Structure 1
Amino acid sequence: MAASLFQSALSLLFWLSLLASSDASAVAKGALTVRQARTAQKTGLPGSWQYQACITSEGNGRRVWKYQIISQTATATSCLTQCQSFGYQAAGIEYGNECWCGDAVDIAAAGSTTAAETDCGVACAGDNRYNCGGGNRLSWYLWTGTPLYVWNYPTGANAGRYELISGGVVIPLLTTSGVNGKYTFVEKFGTGAPNSTGAYELDVSQLANPSLAWREMHVKTDVFCSASVTLPDKAGRQINIGGWSGDSTFGIRLYWPDGSPGVPGVNDWQENVNVLKLQRGRWYPTAMVMTNGSILVVGGQTGSNGPPQPNLEILPRPSGAGVVYADWLERTDPNNLYPFLAILPSGGIFVGYYNEARILDPVTFNTIKTLPNMPGAVNNPGAGRTYPLEGSAMLLPQYAPFTGPLGILICGGSTIGAGIALDNCVSSQPEGDGAWTLERMPSQRVMPCMTALPDGTYMILNGAHQGAAGFGLATDPNRNAVLYDPSKPVNQRMSVMANTTIARMYHSEAILMQDGRVLVSGSDPEDGKNPQEYRVEVFVPPYLLAGRPRPSFTIANKNWDYGASIPITVQVNGGGATRVSMLGAESSTHGNTMGQRTLFPAVSCAGATCTITTPPNKNVCPPGWYQLFLLDGPTPSISTWVRIGGDPAALGNWPPYPDFKKPGL
């Protein structure tokens, strides 16, 4: 009875408010009430949608909001629910069947003005009891209560900063951190680029003398849009796979990093396509070191804009083994290039491609589990995350005792055709229910780069606000850096950091340096507006700008077994908790950071001696090379390269040809 009286009173108040507006059509149908709008809430956050006004849908030659959903069953509730699920705190309904999503600030930015309520008298297509705007008129609603997202806006040193470190010599298509403390750049050899030898190596300790900082290297075939990883052999050789056309698509190139910071190396890339080659020519493939130490190569196309290669192969090639067909790669071509790969703690292989993901058996490569599709744009579930729609992926940190599921984070991307860049990140725990959690980003971003930092956070930088990957296909460079902190609550993890003055668009890269900075390079948009970019920058995170001294450590054992106890001698300054992190050797290209992984092993200290308990097995921590950092609170040391898991595939003796230098076992 009490509930019935309350509902009657609420209804009376509603009708009186409509009568007071002298709006006959609103009396007949009405805008959605606060009580009804509350049913659109799906996040569990305290709050509700509240009707604001009838407004013009255009002003200053532009729409108020850019995201349009047309439905012949549209209701205000369905519109508000969809907008809310993608983090938009304002929404409007136009002409009965058009739902628009955005933010309240967009209204003034577009020069929209308030209109008469009678202008918003068109019935909702899905519920004619209520009004849903009119011709060029929006019935607009605002989310009130707990915000759907909170972005942080640090200032000064807390926002980090960009620094220019070199004029550069090439536009790298792929950058790799070397176990010799240097950074390899490979570029589109043979396609007319200046300084085109195919490869250079950067020694940042020699930046005061560019002739010493940049060592010219050479490849024999074109590495344009190839893949790279660091091998788990004792030399930490780098392997580069695939290329642009002809023989280069079959290319397998090896480099043994030598020298050290301040000490020039003499080794160069080695290649002989007549004796060592892929089974299938591949352009835009992905490579990954598996738990058995061999290299998995996935996907790509046969050559420049050619047919797909919907298959997988292994290096070194097992006796008699061919390629493994993958129907899911053929079905999603051409939007699945440079697929995202990762070893899961269960031993399965995660693969993300286009807007899909699945887990593969590591022996048969049959599908163990198909994950739900990744959310895309609020108005386009067909938006994608891999090249050419191109977002960027990272593995979220793993912490001792490593019993929890591994998380995958993918940020940015774009829609097919229109090239509307996405303004969200999605994350999942594939070994759990596989559901994707969506988080709104502060801006749209296609062709982003992401880099893991030693403190367990991530930098999102580079890319554009509109378009897709490729020459001349994107516009409006995104110069802002964003810090993503997964230790914070969902939808509160992003901080808007410093801006660069340099457009970093197609073919821009970012990798972690041993001193904790981010090496930012390249841009080759070929759009007639933004230049080809040779200059090299670093992004300096806030943990290096707070004035705290770095911790340091020494370590004798740099060749680890699983589940071992490793002593280190440390020097810390009492800035906070002592931690250690391990970050996998990485190669960055087209938003795909091959080899990236972040682990925080257990560490215990007694005075200046600490003991690290290494990760327990090859599924948690695949064999290979990792940068080991000591952290004193948020401040990282200079890293030291360590290897874990040995060389189980005996790559040190591969390939068995005299013109390849091999480190042995």
Structure 2
Amino acid sequence: MDSVIMEAKILVFIILQLELFLFSNLVLGAHSNGGSWELLKKSIGISSMHIQLLQNERIITFDRTDAGPSNLTLPKGRKCPKISGRRDCYVHAVELDMMNNLNVRPLTVLSDTWCSSGSLLPDGKLVQSGGYGNGEKVVRTLEPCPTCDWKEDYKGLISPRWYASNQVLPGGNIIVVGGRFQFSYEFIPKSSKPEDHRLYTLPFLKETRYSSQIPNNLYPFTHLSTDGNLFIFANNRGILLDYVKNKVVKTYPTMPGEVARNYPSTGSSVLLPLDLSTKTTPEAEVFICGGTHPESFNKAKAGIFLEATKTCGRLRITAANPKWEMEEMPISRVLGDMIMLPTGDVLIINGAANGSAGWWYARVPVYNPVIYRPAEAATANRFEVLKAATIPRLYHSTAHLLSDGRVLVAGSNPNHNYNFTVPFPTELSVEAFSPPYLTSGKPRPSISSVKPGMNLAYKQKFSVEFQVKVRQLGKFYLTMVAPSFTTHSFSMNQRLLLLAVNRVRRMSSGSYAVEGDAPASAAVAPPGYYQLFVVYEGVPSVGKWVHIK
């Protein structure tokens, strides 16, 4: 009898989700050009909790090592490592070759990466920190090469870092901020410098908790300001931190509304495009969207799933008297990812309309991505609802910009183990969403060359040669995008620069050469790899990798 009742409940649940999906498609997504979806791979064997694109066009993605068997075993002949006292022959991290049909290369990770953080070093090496259990103090590194695998330093951190955030700094090192019951920050990789072996207290992280029992500001939002200081946001408040002197140099107004924005209330945040076309040191503006009531997590544990918020806020963090400018998304959203597109627009994707982060705590998947155009003068014209997906992407889903302008979407694992029989099963598939600029039919530019080459220096003038099939050249601009480490609805180190353009000339070949200025300082553009795009009449080229130091 109990099984019959359970089956009936599941049937009712599925019907409700179908109705919501149809409503999403017919009402919210009724656009002639709302982009398109493509299933790239039905299963990569693991669920993508963390994701990073490398400059060799390989995606590194992984989940955790303590959740039991994945759906992918180690290749024959590879020794099964010992994890938590047992032999584990299952794969928990993979490399996806974006240039070769998403070919899956298994990687070996021994420490638990659950809810960890990451960044790219200036040389392109992936540095990944913290996690759970035996991974809480581990710093892992992965070099971008066809045969490289994880290297793990179990004493890489001073404090345990579970649910911490990373940010690349102007010096090329990385600051690691917060974590569960960790009200401090430190720097990695450790060097011989004394400051790398110190722990810096940050009371702000304790002050912004909604409850002493639940550290409701995990994965704080961090953005490097153009003055070299670090913006940190937790729940509804932000500060500007001089991390060298361990001094708060600015305290920002409280964000309006009774909404928490950080895990487990889980909104998302981006640094809006830095406009270098008129200033070498531009203004910096943060945009934060989504989240839910501070008690949503506790309510969800009791079976009550509160509606998420529609609100967003913009804050010019470099202004003398910064004030929040509040707006509303078309759809309520928690657990959404915010991805900077090459055009300078923001894609809001994945997530749910009710509940919070945590196992089984999200309900009513939001299938429709939304685009936000920050440069639009009229607030009413900034948001647009796009074509709906068919796969729900809830807790532990991810998204990442690809060099071809698409957005890779993966993951969703609201279960303790790999469970495929619950209403929201563990998701192993990988999709690509093509924003409207790829389905508009407009001419798309292509970059022929970058001179003097891939390696740029600060303040350097360089030339980009590109082709576009038009009779007369229209409006275009150059952007540089820093690839992000994405997990738990926050894309760490994500950054978009609108470059200054000096002149353009038509070549005898029919292509165009445009002279641009490289960013002026490491505070504006931390050293490392970036994707360079030409955007013509709103359509970006395929990105070319450049390196600045």
TM-score when normalising by structure 2? 0.82
What residue in structure 2 maps to residue 251 of structure 1? 138
> Contact (CA 8 Å) 2:57, 2:99: kept in 1 or not?
no
Give 2:486's match in structure 1, choosing from 588, 596, 599: 588
Give 1:407's match in structure 2, choosing from 285, 289, 314: 285
Superposed displacement of residue 616, structure 1? 1.3
Give 1:361's match in structure 2, choosing from 239, 242, 246: 242
Residues 438-487 of structure 1, C-alpha deviation per residue, up to 9 Å, x if partnerless? 11111110000111110111110111111111111111111111010011
> Contact (CA 8 Å) 1:202, 1:214: kept in 2 or not?
yes
| Residue aligned with 1:159, SS | coil
Superposed displacement of residue 197, structure 1? 2.3
Give 2:396's match in structure 1, choosing from 507, 512, 515: 507
> Contact (CA 8 Å) 1:358, 1:371: kept in 2 or not?
yes
Matches of 2:153 and 2:527, distance apart in 1: 27
Matches of 1:347 and 1:573, distance apart in 2: 41
Query: 2:7 matched to 1:165?
Result: no
Question: Structure 1's 584 and 423: CA in aligned 2 closer, same or farther, altered over 3 A?
Answer: same
What residue in structure 2 maps to residue 564 of structure 1? 460
Matches of 2:226 and 2:194, distance apart in 1: 28
Matches of 1:355 and 1:193, distance apart in 2: 38
> Contact (CA 8 Å) 1:243, 1:250: kept in 2 or not?
yes
Residues 631-659 of structure 1, C-alpha deviation per residue, up to 9 Å, x if partnerless? 22212111111111x2xxxxxxxxxxxxx
What residue in structure 1 maps to residue 426 of structure 2? 532
Query: 2:443 matched to 1:555?
Result: no
Superposed displacement of residue 404, structure 1? 4.0
TM-score when normalising by structure 1? 0.68
Residues 230-281 of structure 1, C-alpha deviation per residue, up to 9 Å, x if partnerless? 1112xx0111100111x300010001112xxxxxx111111131xx410011
Superposed displacement of residue 415, structure 1? 0.9
Matches of 1:446 and 1:609, distance apart in 2: 44
Give 1:279's match in structure 2, choosing from 146, 158, 170: 158
Give 2:497's match in structure 1, choosing from 588, 591, 599: 599
> Contact (CA 8 Å) 1:242, 1:282: kept in 2 or not?
yes
| Residue aligned with 1:499, SS | coil
What residue in structure 2 maps to residue 290 of structure 1? 169
Give 2:189's match in structure 1, choosing from 306, 313, 316: 316
Matches of 2:338 and 2:527, distance apart in 1: 23
Superposed displacement of residue 349, structure 1? 1.0
Matches of 2:514 and 2:324, distance apart in 1: 38
> Contact (CA 8 Å) 1:576, 1:634: kept in 2 or not?
no
Give 1:423's match in structure 2, choosing from 305, 310, 326: 310
Q: Over aligned residue pairs, what C-alpha RMSD do you find?
A: 1.9
- Bigger-Rg structure (1/2): 1
What residue in structure 1 maps to residue 111 of structure 2? 221
Question: Structure 1's 154 and 582: CA in aligned 2 closer, same or farther, altered over 3 A?
Answer: farther
| Residue aligned with 1:185, SS | strand
What residue in structure 1 maps to residue 121 of structure 2? 231
| Residue aligned with 1:330, SS | helix
In structure 1, runs of 5+ residues without a counterpart are 1-108, 110-150, 259-264, 302-307, 647-665
Question: Structure 1's 188 and 152: CA in aligned 2 closer, same or farther, altered over 3 A?
Answer: closer
Residues 575-617 of structure 1, C-alpha deviation per residue, up to 9 Å, x if partnerless? 7322111011211101110110111111221113221111111
What residue in structure 1 maps to residue 385 of structure 2? 496
Query: 2:242 matched to 1:346?
Result: no
Residues 186-243 of structure 1, C-alpha deviation per residue, up to 9 Å, x if partnerless? 1112321413422101113322xx6xx111111120111000111112xx01111001
Matches of 2:370 and 2:56, distance apart in 1: 30
Matches of 1:541 and 1:448, distance apart in 2: 16
Question: Structure 1's 628 and 152: CA in aligned 2 closer, same or farther, altered over 3 A?
Answer: farther
Residues 96-146 of structure 1, C-alpha deviation per residue, up to 9 Å, x if partnerless? xxxxxxxxxxxxx9xxxxxxxxxxxxxxxxxxxxxxxxxxxxxxxxxxxxx
What residue in structure 1 maps to residue 3 of structure 2? none
> Contact (CA 8 Å) 1:466, 1:475: kept in 2 or not?
yes
Matches of 1:154 and 1:293, distance apart in 2: 45
Superposed displacement of residue 365, structure 1? 2.5
Superposed displacement of residue 313, structure 1? 0.3
Amino acid at match of 1:360: L
Query: 2:372 matched to 1:474?
Result: no
| Residue aligned with 1:543, SS | helix
User: For 1:5-20, what aligned pairs fall within 5 Å after superposition?
Assistant: none
Matches of 1:388 and 1:519, distance apart in 2: 24
Give 2:474's match in structure 1, choosing from 576, 579, 585: 576
Aligned residues: 469
Amino acid at match of 1:520: V
